[in-house]
Structure 1
Amino acid sequence: MNPAPFRSGLVLLAALTAGALALTDPPSRATGPGPSVARGIQVSGHAKVTVKGHGFGHGRGLSQYGARGAAEQGLNTRQILRFYYPHTTVGHKLRKIGVLITEDTDENTTVVNRSGLKVRQVHGTEKFTLPTKGRFGKAGQWRLSGGSGRSVRIRYRTKSWHTWKTMPSDAEFYAKKPIKLVLPGPDVAYRGVLQSRVPPPGTSTLGRVTINVLPLEGYIQGVVPREMPALWPKAALQAQAVAARTYAAFEARHSPNKMWGVCDTSSCQVYGGRSAETPMSNAAVADTRGRILLYRRAPAFTQFGSSDGGWTASLAGDPFLPAKKDPYEKRSGNPFHNWRFKIRVSKIEKAWPSLGRLRSISIDSRDGNGQWRGRVLELTLHGSAGDVAFGDPATPTRTVGIFTSTLGLRSTWFTITT
């Protein structure tokens, strides 16, 4: 998901959608050009331009600061969800889900040794209880790593690594209690099992990967405190739990492979495993156990983000993600409702060198909602050597989101002055 309050860098609070989605997502193209700005902002002779804007993220679906403000104004969970996701109905989903652990990139699945740790084939009959000691002494860590073909070597570490046994195909660690995975950063404990798998053909991920497979509720327990501060009002946390659970169900339903349905970053929604859980966020998950939002009897695409700036953004074809005025954000202590940056012209020229010298910037169309006629849909940089246009959803390198993310802007709802 989009940068959420937890991931925004605020020390006071405890992430890119949904879940979360990155600012590079194609925006909705709802209305025509804004005549007051289409003629262009002349920048020749200026060292900097000023960019003022609203919101943080794509603005679609639940605004996390809006949910906080709504809860503080007395709205309950159902009312918050009904506001941000109209035309949906309530359903239930209890299942398992696979999560790609993106930080584990060394093609090994390494865990901290503990009593009760076991290993087995993902598809097969072989399984072993791992001893606390091996031939070369006490085992501090266990590892699943690739052998010849699709085989997996089971290895343990004393002062160095030693091979204990080999399995003919993909394997997984499992135990009654959470298992601690060794990562480049701090180790993270995960519920469920940790698999070492070879990705299916056609995926962009190469080599062996680590996948956490666990019940959906356990997964949501690791998502909610990473997407929303656990000290926020109960109704806001519950709304976040339902949105995150629904988003996960939607992604799993539409996943191109059967090994995992979601990842653990803001490209999906941020997941921190058992290590991220708190009593308050777990209570919000338990209070909404299994609850999801349905559209036409299927999980809805419940995108969410940090701040919509006072207007939600629509997504064409999804009536449960409409553009509408949001009255709840402004009084929620939202630091992203209004923002301002000064950007050097030279930074823009360096980012797109084909411009030559930047002469002017024209905002060619907006979505028509809110101040300045809303979010930017099309924008052109005019330079001495040529123009660079943004706003083509079919070209990922030429969306307005690329412009905002390259320059570090917080949303596509902005205006530019010199």
Structure 2
Amino acid sequence: MHEVVVPPGTREVALTFEEVPGETSQPRVGPVVVGIPGGAATKVADGTAGFTLQASGDFQVTGTNGDAASSSGGSDSGTNPDSGGDAAAGSGTTAELGTTADSGTTAAGASGEAAGVTATGSDASATGASATATSTQPNPITDWVRFFGGGYGHRTGMSQRGAEGLGRLGVPYRDILAHYYPGAQLVKRGTADTGQQVRVGLSLDENGVQSSAPQPRLMWVVDVPDGAVLEGATAQSLPAGSYRVTFDTTVGFRWQSLTTGGPVVELHGKPTAAGSTTEQLDLVIPQGKTAQLHYPQTTCDPSSDHAFRGCRDYEGRLEFEAPKAIAGSNAGITVRNKVNLFDYLVGVVPHESPASWSVEALKAQAVAARTYAARQNFGLTTNLVDSTYDQVFYGRYSDKTYRPKIEQVVKATDAQVLMYNGVLISANFTAGNGGYVASNREAFADGTGEPEPYLRGREDRFVLRDGTAITPEFYDYNGTRYEDTYFRWRRDVSRTVIEKLWPEIGTLQSIEAVERNPDSMTPRVIRISGTAGQVDVLARVFRSRVGLPSAFLLPDKLYPRQFPDVTTGDLAQDVNRAYQAGLVDGDLWARFYPNETLTRGAFAKMIVEALERLKGGPLAADQVPAFPDVKPDQAFYLYIVKAYTAGIISGYPDGTFGYEKPIKRQEAALILQRAFKLPSQPETFPDVPDNSDFAGAIGAVSAAGIMKGISTTRFAPGDPMMRAMAAAVAVRGFEYCWAGNCQP
């Protein structure tokens, strides 16, 4: 997962989505651009090899695979600190996953000889790749903050993605619930779901922004079915049709037909409570039918199934409430849907977890959702809203493919709730936790104090029946591989965004997690330092203000970034500059392993990353090499295609690329020369023969200060390159060109 936040005031940004060569003629990963308040998409243009989208303001980009799983439910919401659950963040895969971005290590003893390399064979003749920086480009080393983290949402309670991971392995929902709410008991209430009423407030405002309470509107539009009745101070039948609903203290609720010459019904409601000045009028919907409620600022699209479709279908009752104001005025009207618990859960479950997921994961979701609603007294005496502030509910769930499945899921768990010591638990759930569960104190408070016993921070590890311990969101078990889209994510944020959020710091100098819970690995306090001072911010507040998927941030040194295992040594500064520039990544826990060897595939990625940052856009990928050891499902496939297209790599005489082979120092020198278009230079190392195919390249990178010998008299051309040195030469090459030394 990779997201970007542009500097405030940026008027337009162009994004280019590329296809995966050799696999499809269209982008395999379809983009979804989600506007952040203040920005809006303005143009989308499709093309064969990808497409470009132009957007203004702040934006984020995620990918979905466009199948039934992503179209049948799953919201990308869930940043609200007091929400019951973070709706599962879609169901597709994303274009970039941090978990596989930099995994190219090899055993130190692996063979690295490129026997028979000639000027026309391996990494010899260069066609070069232009990479000239412009002064208007932001420097990725200093001007951008790249956040790396895991999970999506508050990360406490049940991980929806983790539940799905366990469900795919056949783990029963009872065991899933016992794992995520340890110590809680699964019990059955005395009232069946169909006999329990739920009252849900409609919380979207005029702009589609969700809230923690029902939001009033001056006007609603309702499509009423046959047989509907209005119940207020008196009861009155209402002819079928479309009505505009307003309120006037003189006449009460006015239902005006949108059909020319149609009826107008004026009816006062009844007080919501003794002595109340608020009137309530109910639209009673006949059993088996629905009323369609329209949102005035949007266009109705019944084929859509998301929060901003423009209209929703409701069963049961719609309760319209309006306060009495100055006589003759039109006051705002709030709406609640009163429906039985069964129908409510059938609507909630597929919008909190995609309906295509495993039955056991969906059962676990149903129990958690029922428990959450029960603890809220089903909204009968408290506010229970239809967004991620509580639980996502868009009215009647009408998907013909998945509704029968969801109905069976809810029926199979009828009336089941979770309790601890005889009390309903806080059944919080989150889209994903990144491998560590946060405590409820970390998710919703300041991280101190005693958490609920069933919501403690801990590593998310599940022991299967055969004794194998797995991470539910990320595993490869008996041929089944599962990886949550948000298990690891990256987000680039302009430095000026941070400076505007906390202007008291002046110019940003550093961001660091100064306190971290060792049980949950969750940062508690983030320190932001600048030229004018520093501020300490709760991690969950920092996450919310910056707009990050979660507060699970790695490593401690967030800006400038520093690998926890690269803090000392001659190359430490180079490696961490490469990390800050986005040329290299670590493993799942932000470790770099500097002293391991690097594969040729991983080195190709580093150099392509450097060139794309210098160029300010992606390299072409229109020439697919015929390397038998390079396949589309490999982590570095696209980088190798780009490097091949640019003439940076050419492979071995036997036709292979050597994807898993260690990159030799002489090979790295030649790739660097080609990438940065360096003229050949005489070399001075005694261990490099003058007639070597690599001599000119070694002389070139040495003269440019990009790559040095292991001593003043030895280059060790055939030795494998360690990861630390590879990162160092990549960032040195980048900086050499950034300074204007690259040929145009």
Q: Do both share a fold (TM > 0.5)?
A: yes
Residue in 2 aligned with 1:120? 231
Q: 1:57–1:298: structure 2 CA closer, same or farther, 3 Å change rule? A: same
Matches within 5 A, 1:6-405: 10=64, 11-12=66-67, 13=70, 14=73, 15=75, 16=78, 19-20=84-85, 46-91=142-187, 92=189, 94=193, 95-103=196-204, 105-121=216-232, 124=233, 126-132=234-240, 140-148=241-249, 151-159=252-260, 163-169=264-270, 170-176=280-286, 177-183=289-295, 184=298, 185-198=309-322, 207-252=332-377, 258=381, 261-275=383-397, 278-315=403-440, 316-326=450-460, 327-331=471-475, 332-369=482-519, 374-391=521-538, 400-405=539-544
Task: Report the CA distance between 1:160 and its aligned residue.
Answer: 8.2
Task: Report the CA distance between 1:252 and its aligned residue.
Answer: 2.9
Alignment-mate amino acid for residue 265 of structure 1: S
Task: Report the CA distance between 1:144 and its aligned residue.
Answer: 3.9
Q: 1:149–1:99: structure 2 CA closer, same or farther, 3 Å change rule? A: farther
Q: Is the 8 A contact 2:510 2:530 kept in 1?
A: yes
Alignment-mate amino acid for residue 409 of structure 1: L
1:307-334 CA-to-partner distances (Å, cap 9, x unmatched) read 1111111124311112232221113331
Q: 1:97–1:168: structure 2 CA closer, same or farther, 3 Å change rule? A: closer
Task: Report the CA distance between 1:109 and its aligned residue.
Answer: 4.1
Residue in 1 aligned with 2:634? none
1:44-63 CA-to-partner distances (Å, cap 9, x unmatched) read 98222322111111111111
Q: Name the CA distance, whole Å, in 1 between partners of 2:237 and 2:263.
A: 17
Q: Is the 8 A contact 2:347 2:396 kept in 1?
A: yes
Residue in 2 aligned with 1:137? none
User: Any idea what SS the aligned residue of 1:99 has?
Assistant: strand
Task: Report the CA distance between 1:378 and its aligned residue.
Answer: 0.4
User: Any idea what SS the aligned residue of 2:350 has?
Assistant: helix
Task: Report the CA distance between 1:190 and its aligned residue.
Answer: 1.1
Q: Is the 8 A contact 1:108 1:210 kept in 2?
A: no
Task: Report the CA distance between 1:282 and its aligned residue.
Answer: 2.1
Q: Name the CA distance, whole Å, in 2 between partners of 1:9 and 1:191.
A: 33
More divergent stretch after superposition (263-272 vs 95-104): 95-104
Q: 1:320–1:150: structure 2 CA closer, same or farther, 3 Å change rule? A: farther
1:124-147 CA-to-partner distances (Å, cap 9, x unmatched) read 5x1111124xxxxxxx31344322
Q: Is the 8 A contact 2:252 2:266 kept in 1?
A: no
User: Any idea what SS the aligned residue of 2:227 has?
Assistant: coil
Q: Is the 8 A contact 1:53 1:338 kept in 2?
A: yes
Q: Name the CA distance, whole Å, in 1 between partners of 2:266 and 2:433.
A: 53
User: Any idea what SS the aligned residue of 1:274 has?
Assistant: coil
Unmatched tracts of structure 2, length 5 or more? 1-31, 35-61, 88-138, 206-215, 271-279, 299-308, 325-330, 441-449, 461-470, 476-481, 562-579, 581-744
Q: Name the CA distance, whole Å, in 1 between partners of 2:420 and 2:284.
A: 36
How many residue pairs get matched?
Answer: 364
Q: Is the 8 A contact 2:86 2:431 kept in 1?
A: no
Which is higher, the Rg of structure 1 or of structure 2?
2
User: Any idea what SS the aligned residue of 2:486 has?
Assistant: coil
Q: Name the CA distance, whole Å, in 2 between partners of 1:313 and 1:62.
A: 10
Q: 1:338–1:172: structure 2 CA closer, same or farther, 3 Å change rule? A: same
Unmatched tracts of structure 1, length 5 or more? 1-5, 23-42, 133-139, 201-205, 392-399
Q: 1:216–1:103: structure 2 CA closer, same or farther, 3 Å change rule? A: same
Alignment-mate amino acid for residue 131 of structure 1: P
User: Any idea what SS the aligned residue of 2:376 has?
Assistant: helix
Q: What's the TM-score once normalised by structure 2's chain length?
A: 0.46
1:349-390 CA-to-partner distances (Å, cap 9, x unmatched) read 1222222111222321011136xxx11100111122232221
Task: Report the CA distance between 1:179 and its aligned residue.
Answer: 1.7
1:271-294 CA-to-partner distances (Å, cap 9, x unmatched) read 111045522222211111111111
Alignment-mate amino acid for residue 283 of structure 2: F
Q: Name the CA distance, whole Å, in 2 between partners of 1:229 and 1:236.
A: 10
Q: Is the 8 A contact 2:251 2:266 kept in 1?
A: no
Q: 1:249–1:77: structure 2 CA closer, same or farther, 3 Å change rule? A: same
Q: Is the 8 A contact 2:156 2:438 kept in 1?
A: yes
User: Any idea what SS the aligned residue of 2:438 has?
Assistant: coil
Q: 1:46–1:214: structure 2 CA closer, same or farther, 3 Å change rule? A: same
Q: 1:368–1:159: structure 2 CA closer, same or farther, 3 Å change rule? A: farther
Q: Name the CA distance, whole Å, in 2 between partners of 1:309 and 1:20.
A: 16
Q: Name the CA distance, whole Å, in 2 between partners of 1:413 and 1:83.
A: 20
What fraction of aligned residue pairs are identical, expressed as a percent? 28
User: Any idea what SS the aligned residue of 1:81 has?
Assistant: helix
Q: What's the TM-score once normalised by structure 1's chain length?
A: 0.79
Q: Name the CA distance, whole Å, in 2 between partners of 1:56 and 1:44.
A: 25
Q: 1:158–1:210: structure 2 CA closer, same or farther, 3 Å change rule? A: same
1:72-117 CA-to-partner distances (Å, cap 9, x unmatched) read 1221011111111112122325421111112364233431032112
Residue in 2 aligned with 1:136? none
After TM superposition, what 4+ stretches of structure 1 lie above 4 angstroms from structure 2? Answer: 6-9
Q: Name the CA distance, whole Å, in 1 between partners of 2:385 and 2:143.
A: 41
Q: Name the CA distance, whole Å, in 2 between partners of 1:145 and 1:228.
A: 36
Q: 1:90–1:366: structure 2 CA closer, same or farther, 3 Å change rule? A: same
